[in-house]
Amino acid sequence: MAAPGRAGRRGGSLVADLSLFPPSATVDGEDLLIGGIPLSEIASRFGTPVFVIDEQALRARAREYLAAFTSRHSATRVCFAVKAFPSASVIKLLAQEGLGCDVVGGGELRIALAAGADPAGIVMHGNAKTDDDIQAALDNRIGYIAVDGFDDITRIERLAAGPTPVLLRVTPGIDSATHAAMATGSATSKFGVPLAQVPEAIARMRDVPETDLRGLHAHIGSQILGLDQFEATVAALAGLERFGVYDLGGGLGVRYVPEDAAPGIDDYAGRLVAAAHRHLGSGIDLLVEPGRSVTAPAGLTLYRVVTVKKAAARTHVAVDGGMGDNLEHALYGQRFSPLVVGRWDERTVVADLAGRHCEEGDVITPDVTLTNPHVGDLIAVPVTGAYCFTMANNYNAALRPPVIICDQGTARLAVRRETTADLMARELG
């Protein structure tokens, strides 16, 4: 389990717990540096709210995944789950490190291809793929289409000009210990083919010349912290007909608050590969699809405090973002551990870190300890490198934030901030 270990110091004194921030995070007087760039400079140049990515941290996560798996099973393909951060700027860096892509539908496929991802290293998922999705996969000759049900087979039969490499997504009946909205492996899940229907699906695909069935796929959810659940998934697949390719999905969780304990990438790879060898044999091609555990720890969101107010026994610290750029608490109850930049050793207050949107549920994290927050202060929220950019929205006509990639003292604009002109561009009436 990964444990807290890094702290920001000033003059030898402990001033901030940085264990949740990217490894480059460093306290520099009243500022915090990411990738050698002061957060105050990022706020000044690019405004707030803003997504900040540490390039070296991102690349290191990709390299760690590849090394952990290929050192144990050389025939492993690591495919980044694009849904975690669907930006060509991020995918490009991961592709440069050797990762393939797991995409959901034609939209994510186009982003991955624009980033330079090798089509042969792409797997397409989706519980409700349209004709356009399937056609995009066929046109670009991607590595595999993950068949999610019988209608996928019918569409491929109708649209494909010849044999198409496919995997069959199986619902293994695993009730993963995560938020219900992120659990995708139970017997009642909308994803995949239930175990009892797998033989029928296999027979159907073998009757269709356009579906070249290469193997099985299973993905049981996201933000999973117990490795035994992944092992149980492999065991469930072993009870089915054997194949030469197994895609074991993703789902490894990360630490969001200091008290969290999450398995490391190496531990995860060790347990998963051992389970695969034990149940499926060593002569297989293996695919894994990490998303959150690649990008989440490499990212943070920077806000500016707009107002501080007290209501009865509760203090509200409201910033210039919120559920327009971070839906994690609203959807999943996820907590975060923010820092007030520069107020390292001042008095603390327990408050709700809230957003600016017109909803009481617009809370980034509740009942959190903050150091003496004032209007105009910068607040850095770590571990927002997954699904926050993904689900950014225009609630109250908010403009979606930019993405800044920091590396060795340089900050570059990877995704610009949305403009009011962007909001109005689709209005025709």
Encoding tokens for residue 373? 């927050």
pTM of the model: 0.94
> pLDDT in tens for each of the 429 residues of the chain?
443 345 665 444 456 899 999 999 999 999 999 999 999 999 999 999 999 999 999 999 999 999 999 999 999 999 999 999 999 999 999 999 999 999 999 999 999 999 999 999 999 999 999 999 999 999 999 999 999 999 999 999 999 999 999 999 999 888 877 888 787 878 888 889 999 999 999 999 999 999 999 999 999 888 999 999 999 999 999 999 999 999 999 999 999 999 999 999 999 999 999 999 999 999 999 999 999 999 999 999 999 999 999 988 889 999 999 999 999 999 999 999 999 999 999 999 999 999 999 999 999 999 999 999 999 999 999 999 999 999 999 999 999 999 999 999 999 999 999 999 999 999 998
| CA atoms of 306 and 285, how far apart (whole Å) | 52
pLDDT at 7: 61
Encoding tokens for residue 171? 């619902």
pLDDT at 6: 57
CA-closest candidate to residue 369, choices 391, 352, 381, 356: 352
pLDDT at 9: 55
- Residues in contact with 13: Cβ distance below 8 Å, sequence separation at least 6, in sequence order: 345
Encoding tokens for residue 12? 């030898």
Strand-strand pairing, 410-415 and 363-371? unpaired
Query: Known catalytic residues?
Result: 358
- Residues in contact with 269: Cβ distance below 8 Å, sequence separation at least 6, in sequence order: 65, 68, 69, 72
Q: 18, 8 in Cβ contact below 8 A?
A: yes
- Looking at residue 70, the DSSP 8-state letter turns out to be H
pLDDT at 45: 98
pLDDT at 8: 65
Which ranges in 209-302 belong to alpha helices (H)? 227-238, 265-280, 292-295
* Tokens 């709700």 -> residue: 352
- Residues in contact with 131: Cβ distance below 8 Å, sequence separation at least 6, in sequence order: 155, 159
Which 3-state string (H, E, C) describes 59-110? HHHHHHHHHHHHCCCCCEEEEEEHHHCCCHHHHHHHHHCCCEEEEEHHHHHH
Q: How far is CA 53 from each of CA 44, 64, 339, 367, rounded to the nearest angstrom?
A: 17, 17, 17, 26
CATH topology assigned to domain 56-296: TIM Barrel (3.20.20)
Q: 108, 136 in Cβ contact below 8 A?
A: no
Q: Which amino acid is at 93?
A: L
| Count of CB atoms situated within 10 Å of the CB of 82 | 29
User: What's the farthest any 2 CA atoms get from each other in the chain?
Assistant: 72
Q: 126, 104 in Cβ contact below 8 A?
A: yes
Report which secondary-structure segment, H or E, holds 420: helix 420-424
* Tokens 């990022």 -> residue: 42
Count how many residues are written for the chain.
429
CA-closest candidate to residue 182, choices 264, 276, 100, 254: 254
CATH topology assigned to domain 7-55+299-424: Lyase, Ornithine Decarboxylase; Chain A, domain 1 (2.40.37)
Domain ranges (residues) in the chain: 7-55+299-424, 56-296
- Residues in contact with 197: Cβ distance below 8 Å, sequence separation at least 6, in sequence order: none
* Tokens 């408050």 -> residue: 351
Q: Which amino acid is at 352?
A: D
- Residues in contact with 155: Cβ distance below 8 Å, sequence separation at least 6, in sequence order: 129, 131, 134
